[in-house]
Amino acid sequence: MVSSSDYYIFQEENNKIGYAIRNNDGALIEFYVLDKYIPGSNGFFRQVLKDLSITDVYCKSFDSLLLSN
């Protein structure tokens, strides 16, 4: 599932602050931001949904960041 997916890195001032993984079917497989950026993660998440045309979200039950957005 992940090996045939697209990876996107979030950066701020050339520093990696997180990533998203989208599969070929338009599903978000993973969403992650560093702890420092969790308070603003909802904005990142909404931008990912819009910019990557996400149609579905695959969420693991232990993924508290994704579940909270």
pLDDT in tens, 13-29: 999 999 999 998 899 98
In a domain, 23, yes or no: yes
In a domain, 12, yes or no: yes
Order of strands across the sheet with 56-57? 6-12, 15-22, 27-33, 56-57
Residue 6's alpha-carbon distances to 15, 36, 58, 64, 68, in angstroms, are 20, 24, 14, 22, 23
Structural domain of residue 27, as residue ranges? 6-68
Q: Would you state the structure tokens that stand for residue 55, as one six-digit string?
A: 């149609």
In a domain, 27, yes or no: yes
Q: For residue 57, what is the domain's CATH number?
A: 3.40.630.80
Number of domains the chain is built from: 1
Q: What is the pLDDT of residues 29-66, one digit of tens each?
A: 888 899 899 898 888 889 999 999 998 888 666 667 66
**pLDDT of the residue at 63:** 65
Question: Is the CB of residue 31 less than 8 Å from the CB of residue 39?
Answer: no
In a domain, 1, yes or no: no
In a domain, 42, yes or no: yes
